[in-house]
Amino acid sequence: MKPVNVGLLGLGTVGQGVAQILDRNAVEIARRAGRGIRVTRASVRNQGKNLAASLDISTTSDPAELVNDPSIDIICEMMGGEQPALELILKAIENGKHVITANKALIAIHGNVIFEAARKRGVIVAFEPAVAGGIPIIKAIREGLAANRIEWLAGIINGTGNFILSEMASKGRKFSDVLTEAQALGYAEADPEFDVEGIDAAHKLTILASIAFGIPLQFDAVFTEGISKISRKDVAYANELGYVIKHLGVAKSRDDGIELRVHPTLIPSQRLIANVNGVMNAVLVQSDAVGPTMYYGPGAGSEPTGSAVVADIVDVVRAMSADPNQRVPHLAFQFKELSDKPVLPSHEFESAYYLRLEALDQPGVMADVMAIFGELEISIEAILQKEALLDANGVAEQSVPVILLTRRVKEGLIQTAIERISALKSVIDEVVMLRVENLG
Amino acid, res. 147: A
Q: How far is the CB of 227 from ligand HSE (least distance, A)?
A: 12
Check binding of 13 to ligand NDP (CB under 6 A). Answer: yes
Among 19, 57, 80, 89, binds ligand NDP (CB under 6 A): 80
For 105, residues 6+ apart whose C-beta sits below 8 A from its C-beta are 80, 81, 82, 194, 199, 200, 203
End-to-end C-alpha distance for the chain, whole angstroms:
51
Among 5, 6, 10, 248, binds ligand NDP (CB under 6 A): 10
Residue 424 near residue 368 (C-beta atoms within 8 A)? yes
Q: Which residues pair with 247 in a beta bridge?
A: 264
- DSSP H or E run through 111: helix 104-121
Check binding of 188 to ligand HSE (CB under 6 A). Answer: yes
Check binding of 125 to ligand NDP (CB under 6 A). Answer: no
Among 40, 160, 265, 307, binds ligand HSE (CB under 6 A): 160
Distance, CA of 130 to CA of 135 (rounded, Å): 10
120 as an active site residue: the answer is no
Q: How far is the CB of 16 from ligand HSE (least distance, A)?
A: 15
Nearer to ligand HSE, 103 or 406 (CB): 103
Among 77, 167, 195, 225, binds ligand HSE (CB under 6 A): 195
Marked catalytic residue, from 97, 204, 246, 252? 204
Distance, CA of 191 to CA of 183 (rounded, Å): 10
Distance, CA of 59 to CA of 259 (rounded, Å): 45
Nearer to ligand HSE, 136 or 299 (CB): 299
Residue 66 near residue 78 (C-beta atoms within 8 A)? no
Check binding of 297 to ligand NDP (CB under 6 A). Answer: no
Q: Which residues pair with 7 in a beta bridge?
A: 41, 75
Nearer to ligand NDP, 102 or 357 (CB): 102
Burial 265-287 (b: 16+ CB within 10 A, else e): bbbbeebebbebbbbbbbbbbbb
Q: Tell me the per-residue interface mask from 100 to 139 with ligand HSE, x by CB under 6 A, - otherwise.
A: ---------------------------------x------
Check binding of 300 to ligand HSE (CB under 6 A). Answer: yes
Q: Tell me the per-residue interface mask from 170 to 189 with ligand NDP, x by CB under 6 A, - otherwise.
A: ----------------xx-x
Q: How far is the CB of 133 from ligand HSE (least distance, A)?
A: 5
Residue 145 near residue 333 (C-beta atoms within 8 A)? no
SS3 165: helix
Q: What are phi and psi for residue 121, nearest 5 degrees? A: -90, -10
Enumerate the active-site residues: 204
Which residues lie near ligand NDP (CB under 6 A)?
10-15, 43-48, 63, 78-81, 84, 102-104, 129, 133, 186-187, 189-190, 300-301, 305
Query: Would you tell me which residues interact with ligand HSE (CB under 6 A)?
Result: 133, 158-160, 187-189, 195, 200, 299-300
